[in-house]
Amino acid sequence: MIIELFADVVPRTAENFRAICVGSVSATGKFLHYKGRVFSTINKGLFALTLVMKASMADLFQKRIVN
């Protein structure tokens, strides 16, 4: 997958994405990365989508749908 970043148009977004791609460390000390993530949707030329959900958020979401 080749990804082009438009730092001249969206500098903050491009830098955040670059930091995640190279595995930088956040201000809270957590590693930022896509390692081990599954891309659920890839639309060539437009976007790639991966979902990141913490267990507690997933449980809350599931309870909202069920109830």
CB 34 within 8 A of CB 20: yes
Stronger pLDDT, 46 or 65, i.e. the higher one: 46
Q: Domain spans of the chain?
A: 11-66
Long-range contacts, stretch 44-51, CB < 8 angstroms, 24+ apart: 48/1, 48/3
- Mean pLDDT for the chain? 75
Highest mean pLDDT among 9-13, 38-42, 54-58: 9-13
Decide: pTM greater than 0.85.
no
Confidence of residue 27 (pLDDT cuts 50, 70, 90): confident
- Interval 47-61 mean pLDDT: 60
Say yes or no to pLDDT of 21 above 80: yes
